[in-house]
Amino acid sequence: MQKAEELEPQRPDVQSFLGVYYTSLRRYNEAFAALGRAIEIEPNRAFHHANLGAALYATHQLDESVVEYRKAIALQPDRPEFHADMALPMLVGGNWTEGFREYEWRLKVPHIVALPRHYPQPQWDGSPIQGKTVFLYPEQGFGDAILFCRFAPMLRERGASVILEVRQELYNLVKSLKGIDQLISRGTDVPSFDFHSALLSLPMHFKTTPENVPAQGPYLSADAARIERWRAEVVSVESEAKLRVGLVWGGSKTARHDPQRSLPLEGFAPLAHVPGIRWYSLQVGEDAQQLAQPPQGMQIVDLGRKIRDFADSAAAMAALDLVICVDTSAAHVAGATGRPVWMLEPYLPYWPWGIEGETTPWYPTMRIFRQPALDNWDGVLERVAEALRERLAH
């Protein structure tokens, strides 16, 4: 693209694509310069304004981002990704009423919804549902399914029968959710139903705001026998430690934002020097290989190799005093089961966590440690180390 710019510096699409690539590389000053040139040359092209909206969102300029997306939508109102992308700065900024409405456009964007659903029955639109059967399904990652399945029982409260689909790995954990009539695994036959809905559409239909998030304590749990097995596993490790702490440092590699949210195990080095802690790895997947070279002075018991599904993760967490993790499904498992969890959040947060603050209405037992600046994990881990010392002192 730089070569193209040399050859045709006045081509607006070249400047706009340069802006996109600079944004992806998080070279934001160069992104703003290129996108500014694109808009100057071709002010009435929706694409340029949407690309500028993305760069502004990535740098926490939420109001300015929405302004640019509105310009894009005014020029090209039927592009679903413009609406879905505009929803993110709205949602993270706390404007959930309009944000949820715009986010409904995501259902028409393939890269957001990996498995789009098409049924002859209508989507539930929030209308009275007494005596009807509603089929609910997740659409994005494991964490989203855990976070938003809390809304399923609210349909039962309105008189509906509820069928909930989850991926097999979640089945044994989500079967503990009270207030649903049938739980099925993805890929099995769906019983007959009258209406259907993606889980992430439910907050809009229930008119959810940051002030009324349904969070009346834990809503998922592992079964007692599984918890006892994992407690035996944890206490079998002889330890004089005052605190048993689980760690998760890597998320799914298929998530587009994984490079921003995950960090290497060696990044936890500042925690190695906090005395009085016994460390346990809850990490699964390829990142667990990093246990071969833990931070110096940090001995870690590998529980992850015995974790088979999310119910195992929940049971292991029940035997620990605290979970420290990046923003991945482990954070949701801990939060949904009421375990104390400290989550490490990248500079651009996932929208439910908002743009600032250490607490979240979604999970009362969660504490959020946010990057103060782009890619600044060192500052985050130093604050976590200090918080651990404070906890041990009391």
Could you read off the pLDDT of 296-342 as tens digits, one per residue?
Answer: 999 999 999 999 999 999 999 999 999 999 999 999 999 999 999 99
What is the C-alpha separation between 228 and 42, in angstroms, rounded?
A: 65
Label residue 115 by pLDDT band (50, 70, 90).
Answer: low
Residue 114 has what pLDDT? 61
HSE (CB half, 13 Å, CA atoms) of 222?
Answer: 24
pLDDT-wise least confident of 11-20, 80-89, 117-126, 235-244: 235-244
Average pLDDT across the chain, whole number: 95
What are the domain boundaries of the chain?
A: 2-108, 133-205, 224-393
Which DSSP state fits 369?
E
HSE (CB half, 13 Å, CA atoms) of 324?
Answer: 23
The full length of the chain comes to 394
316 contacts 230 by C-beta, under 8 angstroms: yes
Burial label, 333 (beta-carbon count in 10 A; 0-12, 13-18, 19+): buried
CATH code for residues 2-108: 1.25.40.10
Q: First vs last Cα of the chain: how many Å apart?
A: 57
- For residue 369, list its beta bridge partners: 344
What is the C-alpha separation between 198 and 139, in angstroms, rounded?
A: 6
CATH code for residues 224-393: 3.40.50.2000
- For residue 197, list its beta bridge partners: 136
Element at 53 (helix H, strand E)? helix 46-58
The Cβ of residue 35 has, within 10 Å, a number of other Cβ atoms equal to: 28
Q: What pTM was estimated for this model as a whole?
A: 0.95
pLDDT beyond 80 at 34: yes
pLDDT beyond 70 at 154: yes
What is the C-alpha separation between 188 and 207, in angstroms, rounded?
A: 31
- For the stretch 342-372, what's the b/e string if a residue is b when 16 or more beta carbons lie within 10 angstroms of its beta carbon? bbbbbbbbbbbbbeeeeebbbbebbbbbbbe
The Cβ of residue 85 has, within 10 Å, a number of other Cβ atoms equal to: 24
Contacts of 5 (CB under 8 A, 6+ apart): 11, 14, 15, 18
Contacts of 338 (CB under 8 A, 6+ apart): 217, 218, 364, 365
235 contacts 316 by C-beta, under 8 angstroms: no
Helices 62-75 & 80-92 angle (0-180, nearest 10): 160
pLDDT-wise least confident of 96-100, 239-243, 311-315, 385-389: 239-243
239 contacts 300 by C-beta, under 8 angstroms: no
Q: What is the mean pLDDT of residues 202-230?
A: 95
Location of structure tokens 């596993």: 233
366 contacts 335 by C-beta, under 8 angstroms: yes
Give the pLDDT confidence of 248-277 residue by residue, as tens digits.
999 888 777 788 889 999 999 999 999 999
48 contacts 25 by C-beta, under 8 angstroms: no
Residue 152, φ and ψ in degrees, nearest 5: -60, -45
- For residue 344, list its beta bridge partners: 326, 369
What is the C-alpha separation between 351 and 94, in angstroms, rounded?
A: 9
Q: Which residue has the higher pLDDT, 288 or 237?
A: 288
Residue 165, φ and ψ in degrees, nearest 5: -105, 135
326 contacts 342 by C-beta, under 8 angstroms: no
Q: Helix, strand, or coil here: 138?
A: coil
Burial label, 76 (beta-carbon count in 10 A; 0-12, 13-18, 19+): middle
Contacts of 116 (CB under 8 A, 6+ apart): 107, 110
